[in-house]
A and B are shown apart, each in its own frame.
Chain A
Amino acid sequence: MDAGVSSKAVVTDGFVEAARAIVSAEHIRPADPHDAVGGAQPQVVIEPGSEQELANVLKLANDAGLAVIPRGGGTKLAWGNPPDRADVVLSTARLNRIIEHAWADLTVTVEAGCSMQSLQETLSQHGQRLALDALWPDRDTIGGVLSTNDSGALRLRFGALRDLIIGVTLALPDGTLASSGGKVVKNVAGYDLPKLATGALGTLGVITRAVFRIHPLPKEARTISCLTRDIRAAQRLMLAIQDSQLAHSALQVRVIADAAPQVDVLFEATQAGLTAQTEQLRSIVAPNLFTDPGPVVWKSRQELYGAAKRGDSNSAAAKISILPARIADAMESLASISAGKVRRNAVVQATGIGCVHLEGEPAILASALKSLRAVLEGAGGSLAIAHHPAAMPLLDAWGEPGDALPLMRAVKQQLDPKDTLNPGRFVGGI
């Protein structure tokens, strides 16, 4: 990557003055230690009040050679590598409007700083939802959820953010505000930049607004848990459910310490549909192993990430991806890697996306994560570290980016040639 700028650029009085001409003074403040990202201390926090203001401030910082950290709710700022430089925190906190809920068209246009919870509350007034169960919905923001490509259990049925986002507006470091996609679900005009921005960790542009397709809220819902003998049995059960004609919305396995794995199934349907599907599930699972734990089990992913996020424990959390039929292999590898050294918990969705939570001495955590990553990558999967103790030896957050890395760098070079946005936080040093 062409660094292109001196790493010694600082926030000058002149910069702050110029920023005040764009954003009113009360929305510009000196950064404090709480604003640090991965050990890097920014100097100023700016909260623009409009998309145009945000684009103008971003351009100002870019012209001054400053590094910009876009920030939403700040719940997942630990994800990714520590930034090489951090000067300006660009907060979307004031860009929090729901611009248009076209409920009869099943779409919603929302600004990046709106929290998932407040979006869902608005959508629920018309019996609708964004079919994505994100982490910390009360504090996260749409921009942050998109940038980190967060997804929960509903992904199995409704897809990931890439399948739900239909339009995006990005502020680029040169001050361009560019939109792509649109307000209609079906649209193939132009490149699909909503997908490019999703999961880019804010390294290509700052998402200022997004348009989503939304879904009706389910009429009824029921969660059923099945106790399994071991992870092999859990794997067989999940594959059998996937291979059945059940129309479940979510399916996951919970492996908590050394307890027997639990397989959770979520049905969302009419009452008639629920009854019929529960019966059908009984023909796949021995009924004495059925429990009815309620929706709380779908929060276990958040519990695992949250436990590592608190930072007061010697624990780390990572997002894993593996082929659906290799979940048991991955969990067995994890068990043997961590045996006797590390306490482990995991929740893995039937999509193959999961969260692994490990607790132990920092050096041992690092080596366990490294070993697990090698196993997953060897099977075509991946492991991205989300939270880890400060004392843990530094490990690249992402792992092997594959042979498309030069192309990814070329995309970065085109949109952010001065390496202004989140420098160094993404894969391969992007």
Chain B
Amino acid sequence: MDARIFKELRAIVGQRGLITSQEELHTYECDGLANFRVMPRGVLLPASAEQVQAILRVCHRERIRFVARGSGTGLSGGALPVENGIVISLTRMNRILEVDLPNARVVVEPGVINLDITARVQPQAYFYAPDPSSQSVCSIGGNVAENSGGAHCLKYGFTTTHVLGLEVVLPDGTLVHLGGKALDAPGYDLAGVFVGSEGTLGIATKITLRIVKRPECVQTLLAAFPSTNEAGAAVSGIIAAGMLPAAIEMMDNLAIQAAEAAVHANYPNCGALLLVELDGPAAEVQALMTHVDEICRNNGAWEIRVAQSDAERALVWKGRKAAFAAMGRISPNYIVQDGVIPRTALPRVMSEIDRLSRQAGIRVANVFHAGDGNLHPLVLYDRRIVGQEEAAEALSHRILEICIAAGGSITGEHGVGEDKKMAMSKMFSEPDLETMQRVRCAFDPLQLSNPTKVFPRPRLCGEIPGKYVPHPLEISGIAERF
């Protein structure tokens, strides 16, 4: 990239909109997954869709690879710059453009912070449902890229459930509209494909979201169990009883200790803690909460508290939401994993993780979205001890393999990004991945938009796809490549 191009880019975004000094570029060399770092050649901060279009036209003409970035809180390296590429930060595009309560829609720019949408519609008793733990800082553009979840997606669905329409700048600078304010626009559901594509298909510049009416009543039950097995059995009991709580969260003893040390949530010191949140009409919540209480007691819960007020609920949630950050209290370094398993495999997978943890001499704390089987094992280590980082990484990869073998997924909400792209070949066969990459070729034939992410190997868009070969899991269980 020569001075001529920087001059052209500066003319698009203005002096304040282009960062090239090494010092300032350091801020952008990684996202929330800080063990991967790449220095970008420059960072652009466009203020409008037109500017994004103009930037991408230059990138297209000059074959410059780019990575879009929101708040940079992602945990899979999705916003990690690529070699010799630029970063396009959407933080200046942070306006809530429209609030349409009768239709329960809001239209926002990608840099809007997740929680700010709820703050805006709260007075009318609406909220924006997807609630990743980083919701006070993460951006909607990033949520769209990653299809972010959160504790309440068990009942309310993920980001993709709430994105109705997108204005997208394609990697050649073309502006297109996918979906819309009304449902079922004619044609392919390309909005559905775009959400969760981790920045590989273009840049969203305007997002139409669905908002939800706040339920009449919300109650959160906190139950202490001797171990994760009993807590898991209680979860099964709740599901079998035909209930769909707003959230079911579990923490094991190590995670509880860390949360206590960090935020003093006043959790009971137990083997496993279950948080069950019910919401809806008050009469319905009362009736079901009685039943949940009974199921927990029948499965060995020795202490149960029900938080009724907003303040009590906030305290109960505080420890859970702070759980990742709290690991710093009990370990100098840690790796967060995001594997998913069919919920019923929980006892088996937990004991396997426990066995591997002992074998490797590496502690693993567990925090999960128990209702939907999304595990967040936190692999704890000390970088200063020679060999421990490698051992922790190996253990963390083994955990993902266990999730795949159990019929699950390598990621429930954090995304594949840079971090887990090699594990994609364990979860999907070559033809599966080829087919996804063919869709990518329709959007980005030159592979300029966040290339090198998500897929283990790039695919040239002119290539003729190979013929069907059986899924690796079909032939040999877990294949041996990582």
Residues of chain A touching chain B, judged by Cβ–Cβ distance below 8 Å, are 55, 102, 104-107, 127, 149, 159-160, 162-163, 170, 172, 174-180, 182-193, 195-196, 198-200, 204, 215-217, 219, 239, 242-247, 269-270, 272-273, 275-277, 280, 319, 321-325, 351-353, 379-382, 384, 398-408, 410-411, 413-415, 426-428
Q: Check B410 for interface membership: any CB of A closer than 8 A.
A: yes
Residue contact B438 to A324, C-beta cutoff 8 Å:
no
Q: Check B373 for interface membership: any CB of A closer than 8 A.
A: yes
Residue contact B344 to A102, C-beta cutoff 8 Å:
yes
From the candidates B215, B287, B408, B440, name the one contacting A272 in the complex (CB within 8 A): B287
Residue contact A192 to B190, C-beta cutoff 8 Å:
no
Residue contact A190 to B342, C-beta cutoff 8 Å:
no
User: Which residue in chain B gives the minimum CB-CB distance to A52?
Assistant: B468
Asked whether A160 and B183 contact (CB < 8 A) given A199-B189, A243-B213, A273-B287, the answer is yes
B272-297 toward A: CB 8 Å interface, digit per residue (1/0)? 00000000111110111000000000
User: Which residue in chain B gives the minimum CB-CB distance to A426?
Assistant: B187
Asked whether A179 and B342 contact (CB < 8 A) given A247-B280, A324-B104, the answer is no
Q: Which 3 A/B pairs are nearest by Cβ-Cβ distance?
A: A195-B192, A273-B284, A216-B242
CB distance from A295 to the nearest CB of B (A): 19
Residue contact B183 to A353, C-beta cutoff 8 Å:
yes
Residue contact B185 to A184, C-beta cutoff 8 Å:
no
User: Which residue in chain A gives the minimum CB-CB distance to B161?
Assistant: A163
Residue contact B428 to A186, C-beta cutoff 8 Å:
no
Asked whether A176 and B424 contact (CB < 8 A) given A188-B415, A380-B182, A411-B188, the answer is no
Residue contact A176 to B182, C-beta cutoff 8 Å:
no
Q: Which residues of A contact B104 (CB under 8 A)?
A: 242, 324
Interface residues on B, range: 35 or more
Stretch from B111-119, B152-160, B311-319 contacting the other chain: B152-160
Residue contact A188 to B440, C-beta cutoff 8 Å:
no
From the candidates B174, B192, B213, name the one contacting A196 in the complex (CB within 8 A): B192
Residue contact A321 to B284, C-beta cutoff 8 Å:
no
Q: Which residues of A contact B442 (CB under 8 A)?
A: 407, 410-411, 413-414
Residue contact B242 to A186, C-beta cutoff 8 Å:
no
Residue contact B160 to A245, C-beta cutoff 8 Å:
no
Asked whether A175 and B190 contact (CB < 8 A) given A321-B183, A407-B170, the answer is no
Residue contact B408 to A195, C-beta cutoff 8 Å:
no
User: Which residue in chain B gives the minimum CB-CB distance to A280?
Assistant: B281
Stretch from B5-13, B57-65, B193-201, B381-389 contacting the other chain: B193-201
Among B188, B427, B439, the most chain A Cβ lie within 10 Å of the Cβ of B188
Q: Identify which of residues 66-110 in chain B touch chain A, using a CB-to-CB cut-off of 8 Å.
A: 100-105
Stretch from B23-31, B221-229, B429-437 contacting the other chain: B429-437
Q: Check B412 for interface membership: any CB of A closer than 8 A.
A: yes
Residue contact B432 to A184, C-beta cutoff 8 Å:
no
Residue contact B181 to A380, C-beta cutoff 8 Å:
yes
- Give the distance in Å from the alpha carbon of A276 to the alpha carbon of B415 in the complex: 42
Other CB < 8 Å A-B pairs besides A190-B416, A242-B213, A353-B184, 11 of them?
Answer: A55-B468, A187-B408, A189-B411, A189-B424, A190-B432, A192-B160, A196-B189, A200-B189, A399-B186, A402-B185, A408-B188
- Give the distance in Å from the alpha carbon of A104 to the alpha carbon of B239 in the complex: 7
Interface CB pairs A-B, < 8 A, 26: A176-B435, A184-B408, A186-B149, A186-B372, A187-B408, A188-B149, A188-B413, A188-B415, A188-B416, A189-B420, A190-B428, A192-B192, A196-B188, A270-B288, A272-B286, A273-B280, A273-B284, A324-B103, A352-B183, A404-B177, A404-B178, A404-B187, A411-B442, A414-B438, A415-B438, A415-B439
Q: Which residues of B contact A176 (CB under 8 A)?
A: 431, 434-435, 465, 467-468
Q: Which residues of A contact B186 (CB under 8 A)?
A: 382, 384, 398-402, 427
- Give the distance in Å from the alpha carbon of A199 to the alpha carbon of B189 in the complex: 7
Q: Which residues of A contact B243 (CB under 8 A)?
A: 216
CB distance from B97 to the nearest CB of A (A): 15
Asked whether A405 and B187 contact (CB < 8 A) given A187-B412, A216-B243, the answer is yes
User: Which residue in chain B gives the minimum CB-CB distance to A279?
Assistant: B283
User: Which residue in chain A gives the minimum CB-CB distance to B427?
Assistant: A189
Q: Check B206 for interface membership: any CB of A closer than 8 A.
A: no
Q: Which residues of B contact A351 (CB under 8 A)?
A: 183
User: Which residue in chain A gives the minimum CB-CB distance to B286?
Assistant: A272
CB distance from A237 to the nearest CB of B (A): 13
- Give the distance in Å from the alpha carbon of A149 to the alpha carbon of B183 in the complex: 11
CB distance from A370 to the nearest CB of B (A): 15
Q: Identify which of residues 358-382 in chain B touch chain A, using a CB-to-CB cut-off of 8 Å.
A: 369, 372-374
- Give the distance in Å from the alpha carbon of A353 to the alpha carbon of B164 in the complex: 14
- Give the distance in Å from the alpha carbon of A384 to the alpha carbon of B184 in the complex: 10
From the candidates B161, B185, B188, B429, name the one contacting A159 in the complex (CB within 8 A): B161
Residue contact B340 to A276, C-beta cutoff 8 Å:
no
CB distance from B449 to the nearest CB of A (A): 13
Q: Which residues of A contact B215 (CB under 8 A)?
A: 245, 247
Q: Check B147 for interface membership: any CB of A closer than 8 A.
A: yes
Residue contact A104 to B424, C-beta cutoff 8 Å:
no
CB distance from A55 to the nearest CB of B (A): 7
CB distance from B416 to the nearest CB of A (A): 6
User: Which residue in chain A gives the minimum CB-CB distance to B191?
Assistant: A195
Q: Which residues of B contact A188 (CB under 8 A)?
A: 146-147, 149, 158, 196, 409, 411-416
Residue contact A408 to B428, C-beta cutoff 8 Å:
no
Q: Identify which of residues 442-482 in chain B touch chain A, using a CB-to-CB cut-off of 8 Å.
A: 442-443, 454, 465, 467-468, 471
- Give the distance in Å from the alpha carbon of A134 to the alpha carbon of B372 in the complex: 26
Q: Which residues of B contact A217 (CB under 8 A)?
A: 242
Q: Check B327 for interface membership: any CB of A closer than 8 A.
A: no
Q: Check B332 for interface membership: any CB of A closer than 8 A.
A: no
CB distance from A318 to the nearest CB of B (A): 12
B339-355 toward A: CB 8 Å interface, digit per residue (1/0)? 01111100000000000
Q: Which residues of A contact B242 (CB under 8 A)?
A: 127, 216-217, 219
